[in-house]
Structure 1
Amino acid sequence: MDLRIDGLCVTLNGQEIVRRLSLDVANGHVVGLVGPNGSGKSTALRCVYRALRPSSGTVWLGGGDLFALSLRESARTVAALTQESGSDLDFTVEEVVALGRTPHLRGNQPLSARERDLCRHAMERLDVAHLARRGVLELSGGERQRVLVARALVQEPRVLVLDEPTNHLDVRHQIELLSLLRGAGTTVLVVLHDLNLASAACDRIGVLSEGALVAAGTPAEVLTPPLIKEVFGVDAAVVPHPMTGDPQLLYTLLSPAPERGRR
């Protein structure tokens, strides 16, 4: 399903957080949002999974206005992994994953055999099947993050929205998760801070700065030394990955500022 963000503006407490953001995510593609802290990435995502209504502009899903859908229908269509995802209740892993089926169920309707298989398969894909009977509050941050991704997949969304999904994950699970997203065939909008992971995982990248989109295109088109310097304030060289050819950034460490009073 195509996702299109059209002229999105968000004003909170009199401050414009997102300014006329327009971005297309083609069906089955992975599009990343990158930018410095406070650039509006998470706020834009909140509009896509309906945690926040934009001040103006429209989010289109398959040509229809997202906010014209019922909450149940949009929950069946869009699944989200947010930075605040979690639970203070010590559900087991398999109970948390099964919650992904909630938009598809009526009342206390039990899971079907197919849905139980779907949950089991998602846990296996995210390497948490061995934790199925464990309470989520006992898990490490990385383990809990993988459980929440499994829950989102069980929802069987047509659009998947992820806010920093690699947080807390070790290198192996970062790579496995992003490889899964690339091969899922689902439309994905994802916020990533690691630009090299974004280059490897995304078909296209949108760069935000101070709430506005300053560049959008393929990783090779967007991840250039001048843009990195302009947006992030750091010097970087771009080299091709020796195995994949994806652009990869090599950063130059900033020299520490001299202490006052020292010569």
Structure 2
Amino acid sequence: MDLKLDELSVVTDGKSLVRGLSLDVPDGQVVGLVGPNGSGKSTALRCVYRALRPSSGTVWVGEQDVTRLPMRHSAQTVAAMTQDGGVEFDFTVEEVVALGRAPHLRGNQALSGRERGLCERAMEQLDIGHLAHRGVLTLSGGERQRVLLARALVQEAKILVLDEPTNHLDVRHQIDLLSLLRGSGLTVLVVLHDLNLAAAACDRLGVLSQGRLVASGTPAEVLTTQLILDTFGVRASVVPHPLTGGPQLLYALNSTR
């Protein structure tokens, strides 16, 4: 299912957080949002999963305005993993993952055998199956991140929205997670801070600065030395990855302007 942000703007307390953002996320592609802190990335994502209503503009899921969908239908269409989506009570890992099925259940309806299988498969994919009976509050930050992604996956939504999903993850689990997204067949909009991971994982990138989209295109088109300098204030060399040929950024200490 296609996702489209159409002239999206968010104004809060007289401050423009997002300004006329238009971005297409085609069916089955992984599109990354990158940009400095405070550039509007998370705010834009909140409009997609309906934690925030835009001041103007529209989020289209397929041919429908997401704000006009019934909440249950919206949750069946868009799944989100957010920065502030932690768990405050000490549920077990399998209980938290099972919460992803809530949009598909009525009242206290029990999980079906198929749904239990979905949860088990997601936990295995995220390498947390061995933690199923552990309390979430006993886990490391990286383990919790993987639990929350498993919860989003079992939602079986067509669109997946992720806000900095690689936070707290070691390098192996960063690569495993992004490889899973690339092979999922889902429409994915993801905020990433690591530009090299974004270059490797995303079909296209949108670069935000001060709430505006300043560049969009393939990683090779977008990640130039001039854009990195203008947007992030960092001098970087862009070289081809020796295995994939994709762009890789090399930094040095004291490289900020």
**Which range, TM-score by smaller chain?**
over 0.9
TM (normalized to structure 1)?
A: 0.96
Give 2:152's aligned residue.
Answer: 152
**1:160-179 alignment, distance < 5 Å:** 160-179=160-179
For residues 132 and 60 of structure 2, the distance between their equivalents in structure 1, rounded to whole angstroms, comes to: 36
% identical aligned pairs: 74
**Helix, strand or coil at the partner of 1:196:** helix
Secondary structure at the counterpart of residue 147 of structure 2 = helix
Report the count of equivalent residues: 257
Unaligned runs of 5+ in 2: none
- Residue 149 of structure 2 aligns with an amino acid whose one-letter code is V
Tell me the distance in 1 between the aligned counterparts of 2:107 and 2:155. Answer: 16
Shift of 1:253: 2.1
The question of 1:34 aligning with 2:34 is answered yes
2:138 is the counterpart of 1:141: no
**Residue 52 in 1 paired to residue 52 in 2?**
yes
Judged with a 3 Å threshold, the aligned counterparts in structure 2 of structure 1 residues 127 and 255 are, in CA distance, closer, same or farther, namely closer
Between the aligned partners of 1:256 and 1:92, the Cα distance in structure 2 is 44
Query: Runs in 1 of length 4+ with deviation above 3 angstroms?
Result: none
The equivalent of 1:218 in structure 2 is 218
Q: Gaps spanning 5+ residues in structure 1: where?
A: 258-263
Q: What CA distance in whole angstroms lies between the structure 2 residues aligned with 1:213 and 1:255?
A: 24
Distance 1:159 1:64 in 2: 13
Q: Distance in 2 between matches of 1:205 and 1:256?
A: 23
Contact conserved, 1:234 with 1:252, CA < 8 A, in 2?
no
**2:202 matched to 1:202?**
yes
Change (3 A) 1:16 1:207: same
- Which position in structure 1 is the counterpart of 2:75? 75
Superposed CA RMSD: 1.0
Judge conservation of contact 2:126–2:150 (CA < 8 Å) in 1. Answer: yes
Distance 1:68 1:144 in 2: 32
State the structure with more CA Rg: 1
1:250 maps to which residue? 250
Native 8 Å contact 2:25 2:187 kept in 1? yes
In 2, distance between residues paired with 1:15 and 1:249? 33
Distance 2:6 2:253 in 1: 37
- Alpha-carbon distance in 2 for matches of 1:10, 1:137: 34
TM-score normalised by L of structure 2: 0.99
CA–CA distance in structure 1, aligned partners of residues 86 and 250 of structure 2: 34
* 1:255–1:237 distance in 2 versus 1, CA, 3 Å: closer
Q: Distance in 2 between matches of 1:200 and 1:228?
A: 17
